[in-house]
A = this chain, B = another copy of it.
Amino acid sequence: MGVFWSRGYHATALPDLLRATKLSRGSLYAAFGDKHSLFLRALDRYIDDAVTRLNVELDPRKEPVDGLRAYLAGYVDRTSGAHGRRGCLVIATAMELAGRDADVNRRIANFFKVMEARVADALSRAKAAGKLADGVDPANAARILVCFVEGLRVISKTAAAGVITHAAADALLDRFIR
Instruction: Show the binding face of A for B, using Cβ within 8 Å.
Output: 6-8, 10-11, 85-88, 91-92, 94-96, 98-100, 105, 108-109, 112, 133, 136-137, 140-141, 143-144, 146-152, 154-155, 157-160, 165, 167-168, 171-172, 175-176
Contact = CB atoms under 8 A, between A and B. Distances in A.
User: Copy number of this protein in the oligomer?
Assistant: 2
Contacts of A150: 147, 150-151, 154-155
Contact of A108 (B6, B148, B158, B167): B158
B155 A140 contact: no
Instruction: Summarize A's interface: helix, strand, loop or mixed.
Output: helix
A8 B95 contact: yes
Contacts of A147: 147-152, 154-155, 168
A154 B151 contact: yes
A99 B112 contact: no
Given A152-B147, A158-B108, A158-B109, A96 B96 contact: yes
B140 A168 contact: yes
Given A95-B92, A96-B11, A152 B154 contact: no
Given A151-B150, A151-B152, A143 B168 contact: yes
**Which of A148, A159, A165 has the most C-beta atoms of chain B within 10 angstroms of its own C-beta?**
A148
A154 B137 CA distance: 22
Contact of A159 (B85, B91, B109): B109
Given A140-B167, A147-B154, 9 more contacts: A8-B96, A87-B95, A91-B154, A92-B95, A94-B158, A96-B96, A98-B157, A147-B168, A150-B154
